Amino acid sequence: MKLSRNTLFIEDFPDPQRYLIFNTRTQAQVVIDEKLKKVLDSLPGNNHDQPTLEALGALERMGILIADSKDEKRLIEEWFQTIKTDSSEIDATVLTTYDCNFACPYCIEEGVKHRVYMDESTAERTVSYITGRVNSACPKRLSVNFYGGEPLLNPKAIRIVARGLKELTEARELPFCFSITTNGALLTSEIVKELKEYGLKSVKITLDGTKEFHNRKRPFKNGRGSFDIIIKNLLAVAADIEVDVGGNFDRENLASIYELLDYLGALGLTDKLRSVEFKPIFLNHQEREKVPHGSDLGCVFFEPAVMKSMIDLKKAALDRGFKVNTGLGINLCSMVMSGSVFIIDPVGKLYRCPGFVGHEEYVVGNIDQPGREDFSAKDLWKRCSDCVYVPLCGDGCLYAAYIRYGDINRLNCQKSYMEYMVKEQLKLNYRHSKKTS
């Protein structure tokens, strides 16, 4: 029996001479004492007493320990292969339009936003395409996220696609639900009530701080602030639908995110929101195109102050009683995962990554040519197979590699980021789970 190379130790946590252990492949975690840690350090030692043997057996079942005969590189390869071939769930994203009623200066889709809307014919063909995928894959679950641009600028397309898929899944007794990622300006209680009939389960909206700062980051096209109408709509729908609140920050609005949490709490939304999550503002395609190919633009996620801010914001949200995304799940790139994850744009083109939507060189197929898609998953993770974090990041974000270097195939190692974020989030989640247990 030997220690898995994908096992992390956090020393003297949650108390001195205790260790929090986490396996990045199996997601198992457990706290052990100094005595058992010494046993693990001495493996493959023998002559263990019965309680120790039982503890080692439990750790093996968690994947924290593995049999001496097992080749861990092979285990990781099999693990990735299982993900690549998994068709138990189809997870589709449907863009109803490239148009948007906001003028966010940092928009990831800057340069591809234009007045293109999914028409009735394309919406019906989208249903037919997804129906074909369901028939061939026989999944256990179908989920769809409507996205844009601003998807609620084209509610007709949402109705057609959702209604068609609801009829499909009901006939097959297949679990189905859909979500909407929206800026929130058009998210009325009336539209929520209507779309719930077709399977709407959740919505995600974005708030970039308090009114003053949010309105700078996320104004309407005419320059008018959007904060008040989003809050009005949020209050109107929070009791009827699951709501996730996201936000984006930089040095300008970071402090206001904390004030936003207090404001949302004062509005009585603490228990009504499914989760809150805040991320740093990232560069977009247009900014990449302004510099020579191969130039290193750096990565905002790797900046120590940004990493600390992400943890501090999670802690602030938890301390105020909000639920947060743990951040410790498998965050593999959609271009690494199975072909059951795909994106359909307003004219029926297929993509694998939301960051590349609208860019012709990243089209992988078309809904009118089923069976001819290129859903081959990239195996760039193999160059990182010895890294303890590879099950979590799978060689990192290909969009981030493109923005940083202009090349999606270039290694954009996130190890320093993972070393900090995984351990800090493990500690944060552990402390708050004990508070609520």
Q: Please give the Cα distance from 81 to 107 (Å, whole number).
A: 34
Count Cβ atoms within 10 A of the Cβ of residue 221 and give its class: 0-12 exposed, 13-18 middle, 19 or more buried. Answer: exposed
pLDDT score of 1 = 87
Whose tokens are 């995928």? That residue is 133
Split at pLDDT 50, 70, 90, the class of 287 is confident
Could you tell me what percent of the chain has a pLDDT over 90?
74
The pLDDT of 138-159, averaged and rounded, is: 97
The pLDDT of 371-392, averaged and rounded, is: 89
The pLDDT of 262-270, averaged and rounded, is: 98
Q: Please give the Cα distance from 390 to 6 (Å, whole number).
A: 8
Q: Which of 180, 128, 193 is nearest to 154 (CA)?
A: 180
DSSP 312-324: HHHHHHHHTT--B
pLDDT score of 302 = 84
Range of lowest pLDDT (141-145, 167-171, 262-266, 378-382): 378-382
pLDDT score of 32 = 97
SS3 278: strand
The pLDDT of 77-86, averaged and rounded, is: 89
CATH superfamily of 89-376+396-437: Aldolase class I (3.20.20.70)
Q: Please give the Cα distance from 353 to 338 (Å, whole number).
A: 12
CB count in 10 Å sphere of residue 35: 11
The pLDDT of 365-373, averaged and rounded, is: 95
CB count in 10 Å sphere of residue 228: 12
Interacting residues of 385 by C-beta distance below 8 A, sequence separation 6+: 73, 76, 77
End-to-end CA distance of the chain: 33
- β partners of residue 9: 21
What would the pLDDT profile of 38-74 be if each residue is shown by its tens digit? 999 998 877 888 999 999 999 999 999 999 989 998 9
Whose tokens are 């509005």? That residue is 267
pLDDT score of 189 = 97
What would the pLDDT profile of 182-227 be if each residue is shown by its tens digit? 999 999 999 999 999 999 999 999 999 999 999 999 999 999 999 9
416, amino acid identity: S
Range of lowest pLDDT (116-125, 304-313, 315-324, 370-379): 370-379
Work out the angle at residue 343's Cα, subtended by the Cα atoms of residues 189 and 341, and round it to the nearest 5 degrees.
Answer: 105
Could you tell me what percent of the chain has a pLDDT over 70?
99
The pLDDT of 311-335, averaged and rounded, is: 87
The pLDDT of 389-418, averaged and rounded, is: 89
pLDDT score of 437 = 65
The 8-class DSSP code of residue 42 comes to: T
Split at pLDDT 50, 70, 90, the class of 338 is confident
What would the pLDDT profile of 157-188 be if each residue is shown by its tens digit? 999 999 999 999 999 999 999 999 999 999 99
Interacting residues of 166 by C-beta distance below 8 A, sequence separation 6+: 176, 198, 199
Sign of the Cα torsion 218, 220, 226, 232 reads: negative
CB count in 10 Å sphere of residue 65: 22
